[in-house]
Amino acid sequence: MAKGKRILIFLALLILFLVAAPAAVMYCLGWRLDLKNGRITEPGMFYFKASPKTADVYLDGKLQKRTDIFFGSILIENLEPKEYEIEIKKDGYHGWKKKLAIQKREVTEAKNIILFPLNPNFSLISESAEYIYPAPDGRKIVIKEYDEVKKKWSLKILDTAKNSKTNLLSEEDLGKIKHEFSNISFSEDSERILLETKYQAKNRYFIVSLADGKFTEADFGNNVLDKIILHPSEKTKLFVAFSEKKTKNSVPEKNIYEVDLLKKITSGPLAKNISDFTISDRDAYWIDEEGFLLKSGLDFKNPRRMNVQKTVQKNLTLKTEGSEVFMESEQSLYIFNKKTLSFEKLLDGIKGYRLSPNSKQLLYFNDNELWILFLEKKHEQPHKEAGDKVLVSSEIIGDAFWHINNYIAYTSQNKVKISEIDDRGEFNSIEFFEMENPQMLYSQNNLYILSKGSIYSCQDLKN
């Protein structure tokens, strides 16, 4: 080959290399050529994960593709940085819609998308129910029923895994005298309940085993109890608080005692002149006469002061959820801030609050506001810092429960609604169904509804 041809071929290859190499590098770095607008862009990506799987994904009204059959996920690449309207649809389900923006060379994610059925199926559990009480472990529900013929109440236990109901205890089991039902509360291990009844204006207390319905009466004589909590592990023990006077004319003081029903021994007082107390796992918490929050083991010895600023609230109630300590006072909810070592007010007119299953978020609500508090930093999108709050709904709120960690089911008048907690753009919120004056309960991803004396179970939420 002639020398001139070799030089031409070399120069041609050199020019091709000089053109192609930068283009290849730019492509690897994420740059793309927008032929329509004649400019170079830095595209981004969408990543979605939805349940149920094989759902159709639309961007700005155009079908892209379906989420995969194995993981329910989809990655959409080479998208121009701008805001898109996303819709995810599947026949027989409520759709999911949200406006999300693509940023240069970034992945915008929505990984907790749930599509809920348009026509949920319900199973009838009971037709004579008055109240429903969930166990802490979520595996059992105690149902209070009333027999209109016998004019007697009874307790049934529902196994949420099998969705089957069995007898637990009836009013007649307690004896021939009439017992007016008051309330029940669970032990922390969900193996026992404390049943409170009234007979001739006197409170009576029974510890009932959920395994076999056997019960033991706890007799406190003429003492009027301020609070009673079952021991978290020892089945025959409990903690009680009641007011006592040192002298006839002195101001009553609320003291804590431990009661062993088997040995018929009352020990204490374990703590004196308290405002309130609560038990969590192996720890005891109480607020003393000076307004300090104290923590100790279940022996109440060597307590550690937790707050640096005295609590001035009166008529307060202490409660724990997971590792969090809450205080209610005059219908206001406070949470103990571990950084400031003081109680922080969350909401006035409080109706309820619940920790998420992963213990990283708290929902709390009053008659017309439903909020989320992030207790830890949230690394996945949308990112949140510990202490961030999100207002999910400002309509009439009856009750609210977590569905997994990213959705909330709540009642509003006669409607049961479900909302995501992703606050990018508008919330995806649906009206799931409607019943008259529904009392809602959530357990093991099953939804239970008490309406007009009947209990229904919906298992369509197990995504």
CATH class for the region spanning 34-114: mainly beta
Tokens representing 399?
A: 């009750």
pLDDT, mean of residues 429-443: 93
Q: How far apart are CA 185 and CA 18, in angstroms?
A: 77
pLDDT, mean of residues 133-161: 93
Strands 44-51 and 107-114: parallel
Confidence of residue 161 (pLDDT cuts 50, 70, 90): confident
Query: How many angstroms separate the Cα of 135 from the Cα of each of 186, 190, 442?
Result: 6, 6, 11
Tokens representing 428?
A: 């995806």
pLDDT of 202: 86
pLDDT at 320 over 80: yes
pLDDT, mean of residues 216-245: 90
Q: Which fold has domain 352-463?
A: Methylamine Dehydrogenase; Chain H (2.130.10)
pLDDT at 300 over 80: yes
pLDDT of 19: 54
Each residue of 106-135: pLDDT tens digit? 999 999 999 999 999 999 999 999 999 999
Q: What is the pTM of this model?
A: 0.88
Each residue of 234-272: pLDDT tens digit? 999 999 999 988 777 888 899 999 999 999 999 999 999
pLDDT at 279 over 70: yes
Strands 361-365 and 400-403: unpaired
pLDDT at 34 over 80: no
Q: How far apart are CA 202 and CA 194, in angstroms?
A: 16
Confidence of residue 17 (pLDDT cuts 50, 70, 90): low
Helix %, strand %, coil % for the chain, to 5? 5, 50, 40
Confidence of residue 200 (pLDDT cuts 50, 70, 90): confident
- The domains of the chain are located at 34-114, 352-463
Each residue of 47-102: pLDDT tens digit? 999 999 999 999 999 999 999 999 999 999 999 999 999 999 999 999 999 999 99
Q: Picking from 195-209, 241-255, 276-290, 407-421, which range would have the lowest pLDDT averaged per residue? A: 241-255
224: left (phi over 0), alpha (psi -120 to 50) or beta: beta
Look at the alpha carbons of 248, 253, 256, 261 in this order and tell me if their dihedral is positive or negative. Answer: positive
Q: How far apart are CA 66 and CA 76, in angstroms?
A: 11
137 vs 12, higher pLDDT: 137
Question: What 8-state DSSP symbol labels residue 25?
Answer: H
pLDDT of 42: 85
In 250-341, at which residue ranges do the beta strands (DSSP E only) sit? 253-260, 265-271, 276-280, 283-287, 293-297, 304-305, 316-321, 324-329, 332-337
Each residue of 446-455: pLDDT tens digit? 899 999 999 9
pLDDT of 354: 96
Q: Cα 269–273–274 angle (5° rounding)?
A: 100
92: left (phi over 0), alpha (psi -120 to 50) or beta: left
In 42-191, at which residue ranges do the beta strands (DSSP E only) sit? 44-51, 56-59, 62-66, 73-79, 83-89, 96-101, 107-114, 123-126, 129-134, 140-147, 152-159, 164-170, 180-186
Residue 404 has φ and ψ, to the nearest 5°, of 55, -135
pLDDT of 248: 79
Tokens representing 366?
A: 């009053």
pLDDT of 219: 86
Confidence of residue 382 (pLDDT cuts 50, 70, 90): very high
pLDDT at 305 over 90: yes
Q: How far apart are CA 293 and CA 277, in angstroms?
A: 9
pLDDT at 23 over 70: no
Strands 400-403 and 407-412: antiparallel
Confidence of residue 176 (pLDDT cuts 50, 70, 90): confident
The single-letter code of the amino acid at 55 is A
Q: How far apart are CA 229 and CA 248, in angstroms?
A: 28
